[in-house]
Amino acid sequence: MLKVIDTEKLPIKMWLNDIEDGAMKQALNLANLPFAFSHIALMPDAHEGFGMPIGGVLATKNVVIPNAVGVDIGCGMCAVKTSLTDISKTQLLQIMELIRQQIPLGFEHHKKPQSEDLMPHAEDLDKMKIVKHEYNSALKQLGTLGGGNHFIEIQKDQNQHIWIMVHSGSRNIGLKVAEHYNNIAKKLNELYFSKVEKKQDLAFLPLTTDEAYNYIQEMKYCVNFALANRKLMMEQIMNCFVNVLPVKYFEPMINIAHNYANFENHFGENVIVHRKGATSARSNEIGIIPGSMGTKSYIVEGLGNPQSFNSCSHGAGRRLGRKQAIRELDLTEEIKKMEEQDIIHGVRAKSHLEEAPGAYKNIDTVMENQKDLVKIIVELKPLAVIKG
């Protein structure tokens, strides 16, 4: 931990020094919530989000806050180590072409529904109003990457082993669940004259309400859908590898989510921990912290630091907003950074700069700032990147 701000109702414990004004204001709002518990934790990748900083961890008593989870419920990372220790540029390009043929990117989805056997099981699916409404559409979105900062990356570790990493979430089903229950929370808070100001975008649902119960059930389904989405993509990517190279084995998939709320016990109290752009880092838990498409990523082991509510960063974190990155970054310079490292990438136009390496914080600094949260066990260098 680098600093503590103790001017508010609750302390704000920070694992970074450089935080933008907007994210700091949001953290101050969190620290004064009447139901916030113990303290607010800001991970080293923290930056401004909607209502709550991305890279923030908030524990609450007796309420759940949809906007403290966000719209891409269950978004997360998965990674698989392969038996391969050598891969040529030609082979990388062949694999990337096959991946693009198999996995829809951006707003695209499958033309035909995927098997229902791949969807998360839920005994009370009929009671999940939004999930049920979106179910048929979700069948076509299962196994699709999505846009924004979602990616598929082929990497090499320090022992030359080739890895596959995927970053994706719950697609439209998570968005619809998040929006629906956030709107309900706003209406209820207004009806009962909530002390939480509307402009803070932190409308909450008391756990005693049916609305909170329903949100939690649908949120959990979206977390499981996001995992099913990543698993299907990973299986398809592994098949692409096998079609090009003689892969002897793939190790079991590592998975970690970073947008969800979870019932946990901290400092002797049962609370709901909201992780928005933050990942669980319990003692000995294996996690994934990606950099940008031009920097290293890491497989880590959690240290179980109670001060972060057993959490760590979910990545490098944005240094520049999307529009700001397009305005300020130099396209030629960003391409040069990756080509000097011989990374196969898709940055071709000014609009692509929103996901360029220069838009993100220095991953080395981020990792240094959370040495008390995680231990690095694998370093991964990017070889080829597909962005949503």
For 337-354, how does the pLDDT look when each residue is reduced to its tens digit (9 = 90+)? 999 999 999 999 999 999
Q: Give the residue-averaged pLDDT of 364-382.
A: 98
Other beta carbons within 10 Å of 8: 17
Other beta carbons within 10 Å of 240: 22
pLDDT category, 194, cuts 50, 70, 90? confident
Give helix 129-141 / helix 210-242 axis angle, nearest 10°: 10
Question: How much is the pLDDT for 94?
Answer: 98
In the chain, how long is the greatest CA-to-CA distance?
64
Residue 316 contacts residue 295 (beta carbons within 8 Å): yes
pLDDT category, 276, cuts 50, 70, 90? very high
**Is the CA virtual torsion 185, 191, 197, 199 positive or negative?**
positive
Tens of pLDDT, residues 50-101: 999 999 999 999 999 999 999 999 999 999 999 999 999 999 999 999 999 9
Domains, the chain, ordered by start: 3-319+360-387 (3.90.1860.10)
Q: Give the residue-averaged pLDDT of 187-210.
A: 93
Reference 245, options 136, 85, 120; nearest CA is 85
Q: Give the residue-averaged pLDDT of 321-327.
A: 94
Residue 304 above 90 pLDDT?
yes
Question: How much is the pLDDT for 299?
Answer: 98
Strands 12-14 and 36-47: parallel
pLDDT category, 264, cuts 50, 70, 90? very high
**Beta partners for 278?**
313
CA–CA separation, 309 vs 60, rounded Å? 12
C-alpha distances (whole Å) from 167 to each of 23, 75, 152, 156 are 23, 7, 7, 17
> Token pair for residue 202?
């932190």
Q: Give the residue-averaged pLDDT of 355-373.
A: 96
C-alpha distances (whole Å) from 278 to each of 11, 53, 256, 268, 322 are 19, 10, 10, 22, 20
CA–CA separation, 378 vs 38, rounded Å? 33
Residue 123 above 90 pLDDT?
no
C-alpha distances (whole Å) from 256 to each of 45, 155, 325, 381 are 16, 18, 28, 20
Percent of all residues in the chain with a pLDDT value above 70, rounded to a whole number: 100
CA–CA separation, 342 vs 338, rounded Å? 6
End-to-end CA distance of the chain: 34
Residue 44 contacts residue 365 (beta carbons within 8 Å): yes
> Token pair for residue 316?
């490098």
Residue 192 above 90 pLDDT?
no
Residue 205 contacts residue 63 (beta carbons within 8 Å): yes
* 0.85 exceeded by pTM: yes
* Catalytic option among 150, 180, 274, 314: 314
Is residue 314 part of the annotated active site? The answer reads yes
Strands 311-313 and 278-280: antiparallel
pLDDT category, 371, cuts 50, 70, 90? very high
Residue with tokens 């996901």: 355
